[in-house]
Amino acid sequence: MMADETTLADLARAVGAARTIAVLTGSGLSAASGVPTFRDAQTGLWAHYRPEELANPEAFERDPTTVWQWYRARRQTLAEIVANDGHRALADLANELPDVRLITQNVDGLHQQAGHSNVIEFHGNIRVNQCHNEGREVEVDDAVDTPPACPHCGGLVRPGVVWFGEAIDPQAIERATQAAQACDVFLSVGTSAEVHPAAGLADLARRNGAHIAEINPDATPLSDRVTWIVRDSAARVLPELRRLSHNQHA
């Protein structure tokens, strides 16, 4: 592996020269905004639950109030959070480069807050509410302690996120697959690369000839298959990557 500065300069050259770039972000990108990562978020009252035990349809059907309250606590945390320099750098790169496709596993909406339009939300959005029976998006008062009733069918309302064991929106799958197949460079940012199918997108890109970069302070199962590894916070690395690739264009 090259020293990080050389790696970043080399990656910036590839980013500047790429026709299409695909980016997959995970909760590590939002860490610098103060959002605990998906697996680090279990504190206080929730410390004795594993996230996988709560983020699934069976848990909601068995005990809707507990799952609702867990998401309510997450929503309250997110209400006080703003996008960071990493989100902003990605939004700027998308404006400056010919074709950047952003896929996020995050449900926090911070890419959009940073001005990024056209985000592929792979796991939905926690700010949205949907009917658990019908799957449709609904408008309800969600500042309550138990799941509201769907205004259309009376079923239980839940957050609009994708739970373990649930299908990803086919349109999101389609767009993400196309992005992975089309890209020359694939950036894997702040994700543990453990949860499929999102984690498989980098390998799909690689099979189609793309080079992969991992931006993450820690190793992941993907690390042994990437061209560039930058072991630092995404909020520090992405603005620098943008600056270096920009200078190269100028």
Residues at the contact surface with ligand OAD, assessed by CB under 6 A: 26-28, 31-32, 37-39, 55, 105, 123, 161-162, 190-192, 194-195, 216-218, 220, 233-234
Known catalytic residues?
123
Nearest residue (CB) to ligand OAD, 100 versus 189: 189
Nearest residue (CB) to ligand OAD, 122 versus 131: 122
Nearest residue (CB) to ligand OAD, 48 versus 196: 196
Do you find a cis peptide bond into 239, omega within 30 degrees of 0?
no
Give the CB-nearest residue to ligand OAD: 28
Token pair, residue 103, equals 């896929």
Tell me how far, at minimum, the Cβ of 129 lies from ligand OAD, in Å.
16
Q: Are 186 and 212 in contact (CB under 8 A)?
A: yes
Which H or E element spans position 121?
A: strand 120-121
Residue 120: strand, helix, or coil: strand
Tell me how far, at minimum, the Cβ of 29 lies from ligand OAD, in Å.
6
Q: Are 216 and 188 in contact (CB under 8 A)?
A: yes
What's the sign of the alpha-carbon dihedral 209, 215, 217, 220? Answer: negative
Tell me how far, at minimum, the Cβ of 170 lies from ligand OAD, in Å.
16
